[in-house]
Chains A and B, each alone.
Chain A
């Protein structure tokens, strides 16, 4: 942390310069300013708090899942009476299906996507391209407020007769469409689908805004190829949303229609469930369960990239700042993210190799999937290239990004087995898949989110987070994350299926309990360890060390604005002269050459 820019003074004005933020000439009441705000920064922070609150809920669900897998059906000490008074303080099979369904749903739709695109998309895009706000501030506000009905629906879904939704986050029919097939399919599933639809509305409003803002509102001199990779990544993710989301929305409404109006998009004729011919199924059947899978994955494969491409962008920016070195291969980075996005639309079938889909189609999806591993590899190599010859500052954000890279390598490499169809037939839906996507989504995206919070916290609140606590948070999180997810590869190799409430009655699985106990203990530790983050976050928000505009000596535009920026963001006109990664430039004395700095002779 340097003191050169420890004050909020405008660069070039000297320490005595007026720290005029727009607060003074733009007073709004509390409600307009913090609740119904149209300011992208406030909306970004709203999304961040929302994401973090749901992170706790999703995390608690994960802990319950882990408890069940380590000690199936055993009564829970202390909290068992409170949670399960009627079932011997223990989880029931029905409850377990609800747990993993809602764990996945919440983590994906209420944590990762809101945090990456909602929080950082909103907060960073205008600041990084030098715009005063989003192109459509009101739409942006509605984007956040569309999350409220989504939250309402998801909370309602827990309180339905029969209990919460229980068909998995993938909601495959006919389990999800027929009321008698699962307790959670009585009515909870409809609320679940509506919640998803509202999240979609929110994402859509955000995506329209990001695309327009990035195309139309860049500061003078900010060409596309001078944009930070974060902005590129968020732009690409927004385009993915725009093209993929309509399909999910349509599919969800079709499933609602199957459930409520007894149409038969996904329901074939002649089912027998619980010895009964389900009503509805007989009425207008002739549907195809596989149709849902195609529609669902047409959205949800791109969605996994929506959950990682922005993280790759954040990682690139943070890496370059704290390595004090230009990002290696800026254009290859842009091209590889674009090709991930493009290829991302033709690989959805790799989730369906064992589904009974035409195997010739499977072959095509296999080749496309192999190819999509390539851009991910290119990105990793370029990050390594960035580190080589760098002057690495081991700050907390940097540590999280280094952790991100290491664990993303593992998640990316395990993807290759899954792309290889004959091998995937064995590992499909085993714990190897669980390990794979947690390495990319938790160890990848969530680590990048942590890094980003530590990195941009000063910009958000004008104060830094405590470095010592941050480092403690990193070391424990890194160890326990691997403790939880690494050994899941072994469970998967042994053939253990996901979503299995009590595996130990199978001869094949009986010996796996000790491994699961180990994983569960690591998971509890990981969960508890986050206290260091929570404490640091809230404490620093009010009592952290104050900093000036540019505590990390970074080049990109957001660090030109006061910390925190006022309404309208920048207090002086901006002109961009160069790319965002001119660290260690020989043209200036300092080791960073800000994007806006006028060229001056050495």
Chain B
């Protein structure tokens, strides 16, 4: 009897924990934290972030339903059928109908999830998402270089071409323009080249829901974009408007400190920054 109560309570506790954490995420927003960060993910600010998050919520709903049904059934079964009884258990070997049912329903749910994500993934990673209407590649803002254990950003300078002598480099801080939503609706994405000098690294920006390995020997075209309204809403009141870049792939003993920051500037300020960097680099000559 003690064991019967104990195991049932343990299972109920797990069910409650699951429901609290999956169905009522606001719970985690109240976690002790001196900053804006919670025990939930950082606010999304990219143009795609909303779609990623929605997908997450869709899965969350389905998974929670499945979790509650299965855990509920498990708890009920444990409680009901572990009572002392003298008669035999039910002698049954299975049921075709039930098998069909519990194959078809989850299969349908999984297919829904599978298909509802395809367009988002395509937008994230397919080359075609980094081209203009005529199929030309969009210009590259800068090269992102990973090396043990820092991030460096090589800009083509004012002429927009790499390998000319107005190229300049920014270490630690990736500066990118924020495009005006109204004005540049379809040109908001900013394209980068992602490269590594030595070992694998991974360029991770939690706020932008972006992550991609930097692979030595490979040059990858990637894109990110900040939703200006979203950003204004989230960062508006904050003094420091930059956010973290984190290395997400083991790259050696210093992996843990391979950090950087993203600074997003309105077009005009971005141009000014380019001027300033150019002057810094060539001012004396």
Enumerate chain A interface residues (CB-CB to B < 8 A): 92-94, 96-97, 166-168, 172-175, 178, 181-183, 268-274, 287-290, 323-332, 354-356, 359-360, 362-363, 366-367, 370-371, 373-374, 377-378, 380-382, 384-385, 387-394, 399, 402, 405-407, 409-410, 413-414, 416-417, 419-423, 425-426, 428-430, 471, 475, 478-479, 482, 486, 489-491, 493-495, 497, 499-503, 505-512, 514-515, 581, 583-586, 591
Contacts and interface: CB of A to CB of B under 8 A. Distances in A.
A355 B147 CA distance: 16
Contacts of B268: none
A591 B85 CA distance: 12
The 7 A-B residue pairs with the shortest CB-CB distance, nearest first, are A268-B217, A389-B90, A359-B125, A511-B33, A325-B89, A329-B94, A387-B77
Given A271-B198, A366-B114, A510-B35, A420 B213 contact: no
B273 interface: no
B165 interface: no
Contacts of A94: 253
Interface stretch (B14-22, B151-159, B174-182): B14-22
A366 B87 CA distance: 48
A509 B202 CA distance: 17
Contacts of A330: 93-94
Contacts of B7: 394, 399, 402
A493 B91 CA distance: 45
Contacts, number: 340
A296 to B, nearest CB: 13
10 contacts: A268-B218, A331-B94, A394-B3, A416-B62, A416-B63, A489-B21, A494-B40, A499-B255, A500-B256, A511-B35
Given A384-B74, A591-B88, A591-B89, A389 B81 contact: yes
Contacts of A501: 255-256
Contacts of A178: 198-199
Interface stretch (B116-124, B185-193, B226-234): B116-124
B90 A325 contact: yes
A429 B39 contact: no
Contact of B71 (A168, A173, A406, A428): A406
Contact of B59 (A416, A479, A515): A416
B42 A508 contact: yes
A583 B89 contact: yes
A509 B92 CA distance: 53
A359 B120 CA distance: 12
A387 B82 CA distance: 9
Contact of B11 (A271, A406, A584): A406
B140 interface: no
Given A329-B94, A410-B18, A508 B246 contact: yes
A145 to B, nearest CB: 34
A92 B256 CA distance: 12
B88 A584 contact: yes
B89 A274 contact: no
Contacts of A167: 250
B89 A584 contact: yes
Contact count band on B: 35 or more
Contact of B202 (A331, A354, A419, A422): A354
Nearest to A93: B253
B285 interface: no
B171 interface: no
Chain B interface mostly helix, strand, loop or mixed?
Answer: mixed
A167 B252 CA distance: 7
Interface of B: 3-4, 6-7, 10-11, 14, 17-18, 21, 28, 31-35, 37-42, 48, 51-52, 55-56, 59, 62-63, 66-67, 70-71, 73-74, 77-78, 81-82, 85, 87-95, 98-99, 102-103, 106-107, 110-111, 113-114, 117-118, 120-122, 124-126, 147-148, 194, 197-200, 202, 204, 206, 209-213, 215-218, 220, 243-244, 246-257, 259
A328 B215 contact: no
B148 A502 contact: no
B203 to A, nearest CB: 9
A331 B103 CA distance: 14
B243 A507 contact: yes
A421 B117 contact: yes
Contacts of B89: 323-325, 389-391, 583-584, 591
B256 A93 contact: yes
Contact of B110 (A373, A387, A495): A373
B94 A328 contact: yes
Contacts of A93: 253-254, 256
Contacts of B81: 323, 387-392
Contact of A494 (B37, B107, B110, B117): B37
A405 B74 contact: yes
A385 B93 CA distance: 9
A422 B4 contact: no
Contacts of A373: 106, 110
Given A93-B256, A356-B194, A429-B202, 11 more contacts: A97-B250, A175-B250, A373-B106, A374-B103, A384-B77, A414-B63, A420-B59, A422-B209, A478-B10, A490-B28, A507-B35
A366 B117 CA distance: 10
A126 B108 CA distance: 40
Contacts of A591: 88-89
B204 A497 contact: yes
Contact of A370 (B63, B73, B111): B111
A505 B91 contact: no
Nearest to B110: A370
Given A422-B51, A429-B249, A508-B206, A584 B3 contact: no
| Among A166, A174, A287: residue with most chain B CB under 10 A | A174
